[in-house]
Amino acid sequence: MILNTEAAAILDPRITERRNPRTQQIDLAEPIGIVDLMIAEDRTISDAVATQREHIAAAITAAEETFRSGGRLFYVGAGTSGRLGVLDASECPPTFGTPPEMVQGIIAGGLAALTQAQEGAEDNLDQAEIDLKARGVRGNDMIVGIAASGTTPYVRCALEYGRALGARTVIVACSPPPARTLEVVDIPIVAITGPEVVTGSTRLKAGTATKLILNMITTGAMIRMGKTFGNLMIDLRATNVKLVDRSERIVAEVCAISREDAHEMLARADGSVKLAIVMHSLGVDKDEAARRLDAEGGAVRRVIGGEPPPVL
């Protein structure tokens, strides 16, 4: 038996690395018991994220300002955190019609780390700066470091490099980061999700909380950039049959026209839902619709006035 003093000496200060007393018998549980234990733990995630609502809102504002100044958002992480950043970045172009360089994900170990663990890569103190230099990171960009434990060296070094350039810096963590990291961060987002179901497996609660936070940052910034009309996705990129169908349905609903007319209008707008809506609503051609959108920061509501169609 380990004495209390010895136990205290080996207790990891990182909350995400501690043992969860509620799941210490999970290896004896039947499948339904495992599910129930995990559901019970997962119910706490939203509350943990909610404690960071003001900081997340600040990150949305920072991202919007970054985009409007011509800057880019870079997610930087290792392991699960890095994969979540790459995932969120890769979903922005089809969802919001953004160029791929506008939101980018950088993972320690490079592309190989997306499908095969490169766990030692997070300890490479020089590689973070090398990776950011390769992307041409500048002072008007925004660096969002993602580190569930709050202590990932690769992420800390990326944030230090970003701060030195004058870039906006954010940390997304699920355990309090050390003072050295917080010193180079403009906005700390620290959602304390507690010990994991399986000790140290931050792909679980911490990973889920991280996904929620990243969803909010990019979705919130894109909404502020005029990428939606109400809650309609009007700047999507129709790259498959499902998205072509969605584009036609949105134009038909907003403009109160038939699917056939919506299809024709989208063809005239080169597939742009935004342009098609403005063209039909104001009776203008594509170039004039684009000019009016640019004048209003891309916000359809400010160009055509009125409200989105009601939810039926």
Radius of gyration of the chain (CA): 23
| CA–CA dist 127, 174 (Å, integer) | 24
| The one catalytic residue among 17, 64, 65, 91 | 91
Say whether 83 sits in a helix, a strand or coil.
helix
| CA–CA dist 239, 264 (Å, integer) | 17
- Give the start-end residues of each E strand in the chain: 73-77, 103-107, 142-146, 168-173, 187-190, 228-229, 232-233
Q: What is the dihedral of CA 108, 62, 51, 190, to 10 degrees?
A: 30
| CA–CA dist 190, 18 (Å, integer) | 17
| The one catalytic residue among 41, 122, 196, 248 | 122
Does the active-site annotation cover 122? yes
- Residue where the block lists tokens 């200060």: 13
Q: Which amino acid is at 172?
A: V
What the block records as the tokens of 273 is 């839902």
Handedness of CA 150, 182, 83, 88 (dihedral sign): positive
Residues involved in catalysis: 91, 122
